Structure 1
Amino acid sequence: MISSKTYKKRRLELKSARLSCQSAQEVREGSTYSTSIGLNADASDINEIPAAVEAPEMKSLTGGEEYIYFDLETTGLGTSAHITQIAAVKGACSFDVYVIPKKPITKEASSVTGIKMDGGKMMHNGKKWLLLLSQKLCRIFLHFLIVAKT
């Protein structure tokens, strides 16, 4: 059987750990995790839920409109992935440019896209491609969009 002294010491250790965790949550999440938080009916930061927004009207794509379709290839799936290729097409106009990525291409992305870096050169399915800096790509793609629009 555990002595009462050992039991009390363990209880104090657990309480200390719980308070430490709670303090970390208060720092990370702000006052929502603070101790003794309650509902205050006259609080100035309580907002009403806004009214529902009407659903947008759906339009058919079978009219005479022309659309620009584009595709991006990136160094991976994460939110910090960089663009490696941008391609677009509108009717007979097309655009296809490879970009120097600032991050390494993941193995998973390379297996999907076929794009690899080999000694500072970009290879797509074994063919070497001319690369642009991302700032220059943006200007060229914007020019393509303007020309394709007319």
Structure 2
Amino acid sequence: MELRKSEEPLPERAMVLILLLCVTGKRAETVRYSVPEEAERGSFVANIAKDLGLAGEELSARQARIVPEGEKQYLQLNKHTGDLVVREQMDREELCGQSEPCLVRFAVLLESPLQSFRAEVLCVCIRGLPSEARSCCHPAIAMHSTPAQQARRLF
């Protein structure tokens, strides 16, 4: 049995693959947010429509949805406003134990045309420490900041 070689040289095939990846992956960067651990249900995280350069009504028209990487859906998207909010309280220790950083990864999926955006939320530890020491995960954050201010400064 004889194996057939492709008539197309490898460099040309590689160029086509690279071009394809560049065209389809023009928004391959990851959108990053942060949330203090145990933020209340309904807490505002970000306006994801604005961050992705989309109109709020476009999310609804394109049936946008959040697809979590893990089992639980910690975040919720308001398709009319583009607001990303906490759906379920995050317990940093339960999510990540002692691992640093503690990230909740997800994708924002849009239809017509099909498009996806990668995103992650950094769960910032605040529990069990006096307010002056709440920068336990990220020492670069000012010690006199509130947890909400600390979370905004991370990215």
The normalised TM-score by structure 2 is 0.25
Q: Which has the higher helix share?
A: 1
With structure 1 as the length reference, what TM-score do the two structures score? 0.26
> Relative contact order (alpha carbons < 8 A, sep ≥ 6): 1 or 2 greater?
2
